[in-house]
């Protein structure tokens, strides 16, 4: 059953209730209501991400505490016999009397003082994977809801972007479009099966329209980030991108002198990403992906991978200096080996 864009299905849980209210706001033609709906979606995604972030911080703190305890226990606590004699010779009688009057701190306090004297390493932000969320009940419910069409956030955000783009002749909708693009990128990262929405011509065309120079540089840059996430480990989407002359669109932006510097840099990053080896579909999905494929209208097995050489030849039709990009890619691996 297809749910109209202006109507949300009945809710059976708190998350469904929140999504129902957010979807109703997103479907509105009133700018403030759309803004409220985007904030509600952003808040839900933030809570889910914070669950993994908190778990990663606890694990990192426990590991650091364990390493500190191991370092303190292995450090020497007694001096060599020669050192006390040298200190006694150099110290005055007054210093010796003061040392006798000072009480000896307990072992726990000595351990804390020694740990404070150890050189502190710069703190690193804890990293976490999507798999870190699998034990979180809220994430499991979120993932299950996203597998179906009724509660799929990416579908609603695509519809919202389409309406905003149609009304954005004077740039008044740019802020809302940027917010929708940021949330769409987050949803595609948290729920990889939703990427299959961009195997559809209409959804991919929307991203290509957002890349047009008529849009502001910030929207172009945000769209390129969404496009990268949409193509990751999803060759079917990459074939759709190619069939709709996506390479021509991106290459034209890259070659144009009027393109903003930040946009041109992100375009070059996208081309590096495109030229890397492709990963077959399903490599990055996290449980329940098969149901989502059916929900968004995809058929398993469509859209095979292409070799790097084939993609280079396709890009060379629009960008003559593709060999320089390939050389940089082989020498520096600017994206750390992450391919489409």
Q: In CATH, what number is assigned to the domain containing residue 18? A: 1.25.10
The whole domain housing 268 covers 14-57+131-332
Question: Does 84 fall in a domain?
Answer: no
Question: Does 23 fall in a domain?
Answer: yes
Model confidence pTM above 0.85: no
Q: What is the pLDDT of residue 302?
A: 46
Question: Which of 180, 80, 147, 121 lies closest to 293, judged by CA?
Answer: 147
Question: Which of 150, 112, 125, 137 lies closest to 10, judged by CA?
Answer: 150
Q: What is the pLDDT of residue 170?
A: 79
Residues 258 and 256: their CA atoms lie apart, in Å, by 5
**Helix, strand, or coil (residue 257):** coil
**pLDDT above 70: residue 39:** yes
Question: Which of 163, 131, 208 lies closest to 38, judged by CA?
Answer: 163
Average pLDDT of the segment spanning 14-19? 93
Question: Does 223 fall in a domain?
Answer: yes
Average pLDDT of the segment spanning 205-209? 98
Q: What is the pLDDT of residue 172?
A: 84
Question: Does 86 fall in a domain?
Answer: no
- 188 versus 67: which is more confidently predicted? 188
Question: Which of 75, 59, 58, 62 lies closest to 115, judged by CA?
Answer: 75
Residues 224 and 251: their CA atoms lie apart, in Å, by 12
Question: Which of 147, 155, 149 lies closest to 291, judged by CA?
Answer: 147
Domain count along the chain: 1
Question: Does 234 fall in a domain?
Answer: yes
Q: What is the pLDDT of residue 280?
A: 82
Helices (H), 134-245: 137-146, 153-166, 174-190, 201-210, 217-231, 235-243
Cα distances from 184 to residues 161, 180, 220, in angstroms, run 10, 6, 14
Question: Does 227 fall in a domain?
Answer: yes
DSSP 8-class letter at 126: P
**pLDDT above 50: residue 1:** no
Which has the minimum average pLDDT: 165-169, 236-240, 241-245? 165-169
Question: Which of 86, 106, 88, 105 lies closest to 97, judged by CA?
Answer: 88
Quick check: 196 and 237 in contact, CB under 8 A?
Answer: yes
**Helix, strand, or coil (residue 116):** helix
Contacts of 213 (CB under 8 A, 6+ apart): 220, 253, 256, 258, 259
Q: What is the pLDDT of residue 41?
A: 96
Question: Does 285 fall in a domain?
Answer: yes
Mean pLDDT of the chain: 79
Structure tokens at 294: 């059916």
**pLDDT above 80: residue 127:** no
Average pLDDT of the segment spanning 192-207? 97
Question: Does 298 fall in a domain?
Answer: yes
């Amino acid at each position: 059953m297809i749910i109209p864009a202006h109507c949300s299905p009945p809710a059976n849980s708190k998350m469904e209730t929140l999504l129902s209210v957010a979807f109703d706001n997103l479907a509105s033609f009133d700018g403030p209501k759309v803004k409220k709906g985007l904030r509600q979606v952003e808040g839900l995604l933030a809570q889910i991400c914070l669950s993994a972030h908190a778990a990663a911080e606890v694990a990192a703190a426990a590991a650091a505490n364990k390493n500190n305890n191991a370092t303190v226990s292995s450090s020497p606590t007694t001096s060599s016999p020669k050192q006390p004699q040298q200190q006694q010779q150099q110290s005055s009688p007054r210093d010796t009397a003061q040392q006798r009057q000072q009480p000896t701190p307990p072992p726990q306090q000595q351990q804390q003082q020694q740990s404070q004297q150890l050189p502190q390493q710069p703190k690193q932000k804890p990293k976490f994977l999507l798999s870190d969320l699998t034990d979180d009940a809220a994430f499991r419910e979120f993932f299950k809801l996203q597998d179906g069409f009724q509660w799929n956030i990416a579908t609603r955000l695509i519809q919202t972007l389409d309406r905003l783009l149609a009304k954005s002749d004077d740039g008044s909708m740019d802020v809302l479009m940027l917010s929708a693009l940021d949330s769409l990128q987050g949803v595609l990262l948290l729920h990889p099966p939703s990427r299959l929405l961009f195997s559809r011509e209409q959804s991919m065309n929307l991203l290509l329209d957002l890349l047009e120079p008529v849009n502001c540089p910030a929207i172009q840059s945000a769209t390129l980030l969404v496009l990268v996430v949409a193509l990751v480990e999803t060759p079917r989407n990459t074939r759709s991108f190619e069939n709709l002359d996506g390479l021509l669109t991106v290459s034209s932006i890259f070659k144009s002198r009027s393109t903003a510097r930040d946009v041109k840099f992100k375009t070059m990053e996208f081309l590096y990403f495109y030229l890397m080896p492709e990963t077959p579909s399903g490599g990055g999905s996290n449980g329940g992906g098969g149901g989502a494929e059916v929900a968004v209208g995809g058929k398993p097995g469509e859209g095979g991978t292409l070799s790097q050489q084939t993609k280079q030849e396709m890009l060379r039709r629009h960008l003559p200096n593709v060999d320089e990009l390939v050389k940089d890619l082989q020498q520096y691996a600017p994206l750390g080996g992450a391919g489409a």
